[in-house]
Amino acid sequence: GESVGLHLPTLSVQEGDNSIINCAYSNSASDYFIWYKQESGKGPQFIIDIRSNMDKRQGQRVTVLLNKTVKHLSLQIAATQPGDSAVYFCAEGSVQAGTALIFGKGTTLSVSS
Amino acid sequence: DTEVTQTPKHLVMGMTNKKSLKCEQHMGHRAMYWYKQKAKKPPELMFVYSYEKLSINESVPSRFSPECPNSSLLNLHLHALQPEDSALYLCASSQDPGQVSNQPQHFGDGTRLSIL
């Protein structure tokens, strides 16, 4: 089956920097994308989502960018804080496929003070 | 705090034991999910319930038996598990069973299961 992957398994940044976490997807029929944050000992927590009719969506300190031409998704975190340290998963969905979300491999973000 | 509650948080069991994992949500969501997550890996879908009926079974071994007694509860019955079944078991819910692929799922914090 097709899957969603991430470019880098780990990302280390300094507090206050902006972070960019990338995700490549392979199913061109995917029309819904979502980012989750998973802290140690916790379940995945919804951060932000985007549908394929948009190329950018902003939340509080986070922005998701979608480039359908190259099948690329990114999560930008502004002014990264130590509390942002976690594993970040992207996931994709396709109404056409009729299945539930497919998760990518995950990127571990480490923020140092 | 998560709005999806899972119990117990930790479970250690032998290969011959029978135990159950429980999940509860009161958000009025009508789609509920079981996932298995190994360390440093993404969640893997096991089962999807839509309107309390099993709609997706991702070829899960029969030693895992899901049950949805009502719209707020989801159970996972375990019997004769293997050591490789040790993992974090996550429950999730989402609002509309007709859109399982294009809406957020809300996760509980999971049950960490260890098989001796």
In DSSP notation, chain B reads --SEEEE-SEEEE-TT-EEEEEEEE-S---EEEEEEE-TTS--EEEEEEETTEEEEE-S--TTEEEEEEETTEEEEEEES--GGG-EEEEEEEES-GGGTTSS--EE---EEEEE-
Between chain A and chain B, the number of residue pairs with CB atoms below 8 A apart is 67
The reported pLDDT for the residue numbered A4 is: 54
Using one digit for the tens of pLDDT, what is the confidence trace for A77-100?
999 999 999 999 999 998 776 668
Whether B60 and chain A come into contact, CB under 8 Å, resolves to no
Q: Searching chain B, which residue's CA lies closest to the CA of residue A51?
A: B102
Whether B2 and chain A come into contact, CB under 8 Å, resolves to yes
Question: Which residue from A100, A104, A105 is facing B101, i.e. has the nearest CB?
Answer: A100
Flag whether pLDDT at A33 surpasses 50: yes
Using one digit for the tens of pLDDT, what is the confidence trace for B35-68?
999 998 999 999 999 999 999 999 999 999 999 9
Cβ(A9)–Cβ(A108) under 8 Å? yes
Using one digit for the tens of pLDDT, what is the confidence trace for B60-102?
999 999 999 999 999 999 999 999 999 999 999 999 887 777 8
d(CA A101, CA A99): 7
